[in-house]
């Protein structure tokens, strides 16, 4: 394990998973820093920037829509375009799609309910730094907690995701059979960009760090960023 | 000058809220309801005096923030 991995965690008004995320990466031995949304620089020695979950700007207008106008997002775009690694969790995933750093969009859950429970996810691709320690078809138990997690992309976009190995995770049951909680197209729970340095998922790996608390499967996922 | 912006999910993108409202109306005896779409209306007061300039600026606002054009369409109406 590399001792000096530096993780920046973006905080908007309404973000509420930044300290859980900080705790998770600190537990993995990383140096962590909260990045307030008004900051317009991201230090180039940062190894990973996490856009944490929550309800940035109260989810007004659309989840993640107002957050994308923040100074930090401009800096984040530059950071990502220079190859910097970015992980968006839940609201962070919504922010990244709104910003255009990830394709597609997150719509209201098909059943219209807020869903908060553990869910199984199947690893579709580990050909990326994030899931490098997971096996393809491995089933992970990770909590989900969202209202707008219904991933949508048009048919051409979907084809492109598969063609470039960008579909990372799907919602399944414990056996790995598709079990779609929110209406996401093809039951997709997480994707990455074409360059494989920007990752987004609705489930919360930072909430699955201790088996005592239900699951430590999130550890294996986040550890992918340690030897980036 | 006032701009009225209507934002709706694109045709072909499932409108779960519209479907739920349709279902609720139908089950309350409004049998003639055939379809329902739920969107949002954004009303903007502008200091512009030229209608075309106003429309252009509001279209830019829609592209930048007010609509997510991956899933949504927008319509702009300018009122003097």
A89-110 per-position pLDDT tens digit: 999 999 999 999 999 999 999 9
CB contact under 8 A, A105 and B70: yes
- Residue A90 bears catalytic tag: yes
- The answer to whether domain A6-225 has CATH 3.40.50.880 is yes
Confidence of residue A1 (pLDDT cuts 50, 70, 90): very low
Place of tokens 């790996």: A205
The confidence score (pLDDT) of residue A228 equals: 55
The distance of B19 to chain A (nearest Cα, Å) reads: 10
- Residue A17 bears catalytic tag: no
Place of tokens 């409108």: B15
Query: Is the per-residue pLDDT at B11 higher than 70?
Result: yes
- Who's near A209: CB < 8 A, 6+ residues apart? A23, A24, A27, A216, A218, A219, A222
Digit-coded pLDDT (tens) for A58-86: 999 999 999 999 999 999 999 999 999 99
Place of tokens 């930044």: A18
The confidence score (pLDDT) of residue A207 equals: 97
The distance of A174 to chain B (nearest Cα, Å) reads: 27
The confidence score (pLDDT) of residue B80 equals: 81
The confidence score (pLDDT) of residue A3 equals: 55
Please, what is the angle between helix A71-81 and helix A91-99, to 10°? 80
* Among the listed residues A46, A48, A22, A147, the one whose alpha carbon sits nearest the alpha carbon of residue A94: A147
Digit-coded pLDDT (tens) for B59-69: 999 999 999 99
Q: Give the residue from B11, B17, B70 with the most A CB atoms within 10 Å of its CB, the best one to mutate.
A: B70
Digit-coded pLDDT (tens) for B23-52: 999 999 999 999 999 999 999 999 999 999
CB contact under 8 A, A66 and B13: no
Question: Chain A partners of B16 at a C-beta cutoff of 8 Å?
Answer: 107-112, 150, 183
The distance of A12 to chain B (nearest Cα, Å) reads: 17
The confidence score (pLDDT) of residue A178 equals: 98
CATH of domain B2-79: 3.30.1280.10
Digit-coded pLDDT (tens) for A116-144: 999 999 999 999 999 999 999 999 999 99
ipTM: 0.88
- Residue A206 bears catalytic tag: yes
Distance CA A144, CA A107 (A): 15
């Amino acid at each position: 394990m590399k001792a000096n991995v530096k993780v920046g965690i973006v905080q908007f008004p309404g973000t509420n998973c930044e300290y859980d995320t900080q705790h998770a990466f600190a537990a993995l031995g990383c140096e962590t820093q909260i990045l307030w949304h008004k900051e317009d620089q991201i230090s180039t020695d940062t190894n990973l920037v996490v856009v944490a979950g929550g309800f940035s700007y109260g989810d007004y207008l659309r989840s993640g829509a107002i957050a994308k106008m923040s100074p930090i997002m401009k800096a984040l775009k530059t950071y990502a375009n220079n190859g910097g690694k970015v992980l968006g969790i839940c609201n962070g995933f919504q922010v990244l799609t709104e910003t255009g750093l990830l394709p597609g969009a997150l719509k209201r859950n098909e059943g219209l309910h807020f869903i908060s429970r553990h869910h199984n996810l199947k690893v579709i691709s580990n050909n990326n730094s994030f899931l490098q320690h997971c096996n393809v078809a491995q089933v992970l138990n990770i909590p989900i907690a969202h209202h707008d997690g219904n991933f949508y992309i048009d048919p051409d976009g979907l084809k492109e995701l598969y063609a470039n190995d960008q579909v990372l995770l799907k919602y399944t049951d414990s056996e790995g059979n598709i079990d779609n909680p929110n209406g996401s197209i093809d039951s997709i729970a997480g994707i990455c960009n074409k360059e494989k340095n920007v990752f987004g998922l609705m489930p919360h790996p930072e909430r699955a760090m201790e088996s005592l608390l239900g699951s430590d499967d999130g550890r294996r996922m986040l550890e992918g960023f340690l030897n980036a | 000058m006032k701009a009225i912006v209507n934002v709706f999910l694109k045709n072909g993108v499932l409108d779960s809220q519209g479907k739920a409202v349709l279902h609720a109306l139908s089950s309350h005896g409004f049998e003639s309801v055939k379809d329902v779409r739920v969107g949002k209306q954004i009303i903007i007061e502008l200091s512009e005096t030229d209608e075309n300039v106003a429309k252009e600026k509001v279209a830019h606002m829609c592209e930048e923030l007010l609509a997510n054009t991956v899933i949504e369409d927008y319509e702009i109406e300018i009122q003097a």
